[in-house]
């Protein structure tokens, strides 16, 4: 393994001994030992041989013996080893070696100043495990740091600061480059793993090449970051991806220059050319090797206070589904809005999960309007981390033209889609004098109550029904199939939200069957029609049970009994348990036969402990205005049914 050779790090003993550095006449290098900035205030000198020097320079052909007059010179001194390599004199290609090899005991920086002929390029290659870019103000975990710079008209520009272990395999510059490798005082490496090759012009400031061998996210910075990128220059990043992987580009931060000519741009070869602005969203789900170039304009150099061009971006490479496309046919779904988005997950790190509505045009969230045909692809490892929600608005402004009963359908394309349909909402909107009716002929609804909760996993979905005015919204209740509620009439605007359980079976959505119609105004918040299909006990509760029935609001239930049935009605508590500031609250129970007596209870009276009822009847509950801050009206009741044996005479209910 290359990197094993390369890393071979060894700890060195502390030194008080003397050193000898010998440079051959052929060693085209100089060594400077000098005081570091911010050193401790106690004195420490170099003795060569007198102990009075603060710096020491050793050039080619020299032999110097030196020592220090303190025991921890590494706290005071640093060493610079500078070498010039002129490729135009035929020295390249070349593998750089760390010479002289016996330098240690001080933090040291090896700088290679590498030249080639005018208009030629230089390639710096790094052996595995390659390099990773860091912010210039950051340190590397192993304190081994590379700084690479180049020149434009004799001004130095940093290409970047790098640590070992990353994706960057090669960096190309034009004409002249400096590689500075900094090593900590107690560490020596044998081979810096850098090769230098000269080649023809690279036609840009620099080219940084990355090769990904596995899934990862890396951060890259424009040359000279965070300072301005040089005027009129461009730099390129090239990316090599492993098989069956895709990349996403995400710009994290940028500043824009003040241009006098041209414009700053980002030019992609994906490998098809594509021009993006810095402010655009950047391509994702890139399935091939690609490159991107940052192009500066001719900058207005008078505007020195301006930040100039800079860019910080992430590249994420992860396994991909390739270019598989999924159809979403919403052509016949006018008024439908579909959202595809991330589920909330508590995890701190999630790989990129993007939804693409065109090749490489991806986002973490997508809103699709009905009336069109979409081809969706994903850059996402787990589609289960995404969900689909849909919302359809159904309006009625004139009862004469819209009172026919309509089915609430779910487009098959959403059921077949590989991302789970989390919820589907229908919003029924009408003016204040029009009410709504929800009918479920085939499934009959069960109310989701604590005593008899809906089993969403078993039935495949539940419905939340909300009623709203321009002022507020209340949750009428949660419901699921296989109950006794045949019809719900609601006075105000209604939202019906079908919700599916996590990892639910989409095939169960086929049993969903609700119809709605707009009807003439009702004065109650809601009227339920309950037609027991079985003898099972039925549980019901007042609308908005969690927070209570609104002030003065009323609700009704019509309970159908067949000729052969009788019913027993029980309330969940023995009193309404509220105290009214204005008005009174009532519970009324009355058979729907002419002349039937009525059971009426006010909020200060006991509720009947049990009522036996023999024909179809009403339950009405109407609220007062309770004192603010006191309990709200919330009632639950249950009904059990009995078959009346043949010949038994149905009595009229005693009051």
User: Which residue has 């045909």 as its token pair?
Assistant: 373
Inter-CA distances, 400 with 167, 393, 404, 515, 520, Å: 69, 19, 9, 18, 10
- What tokens does 483 get? 């109950």
How far is residue 286 CA from its own chain's centroid? 19
409-418: b or e for each residue (b if 16 or more CB lie within 10 Å)? ebbebbeebe
Query: Least distance in Å: CB of 95 to ligand NAG?
Result: 4
> Are 276 and 265 within 8 A, CB to CB?
yes
Site for ligand NAG in 238-267 (CB under 6 A): 238, 250, 252-253, 255
Question: Using the rule CB under 6 A, is 529 a contact of ligand NAG?
Answer: yes
Query: Least distance in Å: CB of 507 to ligand NAG?
Result: 28
Q: Which of 62, 232, 291, 403 binds ligand NAG (CB under 6 A)?
A: 291
Query: Least distance in Å: CB of 43 to ligand NAG?
Result: 14
Rounded Cα distance between 464 and 330, Å, is: 24
Query: Least distance in Å: CB of 376 to ligand NAG?
Result: 22
| Pattern 542-561, ligand NAG, x by CB under 6 A | ----------------x-x-
Question: Using the rule CB under 6 A, is 67 a contact of ligand NAG?
Answer: no
Question: Using the rule CB under 6 A, is 236 a contact of ligand NAG?
Answer: yes
Rounded Cα distance between 248 and 246, Å, is: 7
Rounded Cα distance between 464 and 461, Å, is: 10
Nearer CB in complex with ligand NAG: 531/636: 531
User: Which residue has 């391509």 as its token pair?
Assistant: 283
Site for ligand NAG in 149-168 (CB under 6 A): 165
Question: Using the rule CB under 6 A, is 473 a contact of ligand NAG?
Answer: no
> Are 222 and 294 within 8 A, CB to CB?
yes
Question: Using the rule CB under 6 A, is 82 a contact of ligand NAG?
Answer: yes
At 6 the three-state DSSP class reads: helix
Question: Using the rule CB under 6 A, is 477 a contact of ligand NAG?
Answer: no
> Are 285 and 360 within 8 A, CB to CB?
yes
Query: Least distance in Å: CB of 98 to ligand NAG?
Result: 14
Site for ligand NAG in 384-443 (CB under 6 A): 399, 429, 431-434
Question: Using the rule CB under 6 A, is 8 a contact of ligand NAG?
Answer: no
Q: Give the distance between the most distant pair of CA atoms in the chain.
A: 129
> Are 52 and 45 within 8 A, CB to CB?
yes
Name the DSSP class of 402.
H
Query: Least distance in Å: CB of 637 to ligand NAG?
Result: 18
How many CA within 13 A on the CB side of residue 236?
16
Among 17-25, 88-96, 570-578, 641-649, which window interacts with ligand NAG (CB under 6 A)? 88-96
Nearer CB in complex with ligand NAG: 333/492: 492
Question: Using the rule CB under 6 A, is 84 a contact of ligand NAG?
Answer: yes
Site for ligand NAG in 482-521 (CB under 6 A): 486, 492-493, 520
Query: Least distance in Å: CB of 601 to ligand NAG?
Result: 23
> Are 485 and 437 within 8 A, CB to CB?
no
> Are 650 and 617 within 8 A, CB to CB?
no
Q: Give the binding-site size for ligand NAG (rule: CB under 6 A).
A: 68
Q: Please provide residue 572's backbone torsions phi and psi, each rounded to the nearest 5 degrees.
A: -70, -20
Note if the bond before 629 is cis, omega within 30 degrees.
no
| Pattern 100-119, ligand NAG, x by CB under 6 A | -------x---x-x---x--
Query: Least distance in Å: CB of 498 to ligand NAG?
Result: 21
At 383 the three-state DSSP class reads: helix
Task: Indicate the helix (H) or strand (E) that contains 416.
Answer: helix 412-416
Question: Using the rule CB under 6 A, is 583 a contact of ligand NAG?
Answer: no
First to last CA, the chain: 94
Q: Which of 199, 276, 306, 342 binds ligand NAG (CB under 6 A)?
A: 199
Question: Using the rule CB under 6 A, is 32 a contact of ligand NAG?
Answer: yes
Question: Using the rule CB under 6 A, is 87 a contact of ligand NAG?
Answer: yes
- What tokens does 94 get? 């070349």
Query: Least distance in Å: CB of 517 to ligand NAG?
Result: 13
**Which residues touch 13 (CB under 8 Å, ≥6 apart)?**
none
Query: Least distance in Å: CB of 496 to ligand NAG?
Result: 15
- Residues lying near ligand NAG in the complex (CB under 6 A): 28, 30, 32, 36, 39, 75, 78, 80, 82, 84-90, 92-95, 107, 111, 113, 117, 120, 129, 143, 165, 178, 180, 184-185, 195, 198-200, 207, 217-219, 226, 236, 238, 250, 252-253, 255, 269, 271, 291, 312, 314, 399, 429, 431-434, 469-470, 486, 492-493, 520, 529, 531, 558, 560
């Amino acid at each position: 393994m290359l990197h094993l050779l390369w890393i071979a790090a060894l700890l060195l003993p502390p030194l008080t001994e003397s050193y000898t550095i010998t440079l051959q006449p052929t060693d085209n290098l100089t060594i400077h030992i000098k005081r570091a900035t911010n050193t401790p205030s106690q004195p420490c000198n170099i003795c060569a041989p007198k102990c009075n020097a603060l710096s020491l320079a050793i050039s080619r052909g020299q032999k110097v013996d030196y020592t220090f007059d303190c025991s921890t010179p590494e706290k005071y001194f640093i060493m610079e080893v500078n070498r010039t390599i002129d490729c135009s004199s035929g020295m390249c290609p070349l593998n750089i070696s760390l010479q002289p090899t016996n330098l240690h005991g001080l933090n040291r920086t090896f700088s290679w100043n590498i030249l080639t002929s005018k208009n030629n390029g230089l390639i710096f290659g790094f052996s595995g495990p390659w390099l990773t870019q860091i912010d210039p103000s950051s340190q590397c975990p192993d304190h081994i740091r590379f700084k690479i710079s180049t020149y434009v008209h004799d001004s130095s520009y940093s290409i970047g600061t790098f640590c070992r272990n990353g994706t960057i395999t090669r960096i190309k510059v034009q004409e002249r480059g400096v590689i500075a490798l900094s090593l900590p005082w107690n560490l020596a490496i044998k081979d810096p793993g850098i090769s230098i090759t000269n080649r023809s012009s690279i036609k840009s400031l620099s080219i940084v090449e990355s090769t990904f061998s596995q899934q990862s996210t890396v951060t890259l910075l424009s040359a000279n970051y965070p300072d301005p990128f040089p005027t009129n220059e461009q730099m390129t990043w090239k990316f090599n991806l492993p098989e069956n992987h895709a990349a996403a580009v995400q710009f994290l931060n940028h500043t824009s220059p003040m241009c006098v000519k041209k414009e700053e741009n980002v030019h992609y070869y994906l490998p098809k050319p594509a021009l993006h602005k810095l402010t655009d969203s950047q391509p994702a789900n890139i399935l091939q090797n690609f490159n991107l170039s940052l192009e500066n304009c001719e900058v207005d150099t008078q505007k020195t206070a301006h930040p100039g061009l800079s860019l910080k971006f992430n590249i994420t490479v992860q396994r991909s589904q390739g270019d598989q496309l999924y159809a979403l046919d919403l052509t016949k779904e006018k008024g439908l809005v579909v959202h595809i988005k991330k589920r909330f997950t508590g995890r701190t790190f999630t790989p990129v999960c993007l939804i693409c509505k065109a090749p490489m045009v991806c986002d973490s969230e997508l809103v699709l309007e009905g009336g069109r045909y979409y081809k969706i692809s994903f850059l996402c490892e787990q589609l289960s981390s995404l969900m689909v929600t849909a919302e359809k608005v159904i309006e009625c402004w004139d009862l004469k033209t819209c009172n026919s009963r309509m089915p609430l359908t779910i487009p098959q394309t959403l059921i077949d889609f590989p991302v789970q349909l989390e919820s589907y909402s229908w919003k029924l909107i009408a003016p204040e004098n029009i009410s709504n009716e929800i009918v479920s002929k085939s499934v009959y609804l069960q109310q989701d109550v604590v005593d008899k909760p809906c089993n969403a996993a078993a039935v495949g979905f539940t419905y939340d029904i909300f009623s709203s005015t321009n002022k507020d919204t209340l949750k009428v209740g949660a419901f699921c199939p296989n109950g006794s509620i045949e019809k719900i009439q609601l006075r105000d605007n209604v939202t019906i939200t079908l919700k599916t359980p996590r990892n639910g079976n989409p095939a169960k959505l086929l049993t969903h069957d609700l119809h709605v119609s707009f009807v003439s105004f009702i004065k109650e918040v809601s009227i339920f029609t309950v037609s027991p299909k079985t003898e099972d006990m039925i549980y019901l509760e007042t609308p908005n049970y969690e927070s209570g029935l609104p002030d003065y609001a009323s609700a009704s239930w019509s309970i159908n009994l067949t000729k052969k049935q009788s019913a027993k009605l029980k309330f969940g508590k023995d009193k309404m348990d509220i105290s009214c500031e204005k008005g009174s609250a009532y519970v009324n129970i009355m058979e729907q036969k002419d002349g039937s007596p009525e059971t009426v209870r006010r909020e200060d009276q006991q509720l009947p402990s049990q009522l036996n009822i023999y024909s179809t009847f009403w339950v009405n509950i109407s609220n007062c205005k309770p004192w603010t801050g006191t309990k709200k009206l919330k009632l639950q009741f249950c009904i059990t049914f009995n078959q009346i044996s043949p010949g038994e005479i149905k009595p009229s209910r005693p009051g």
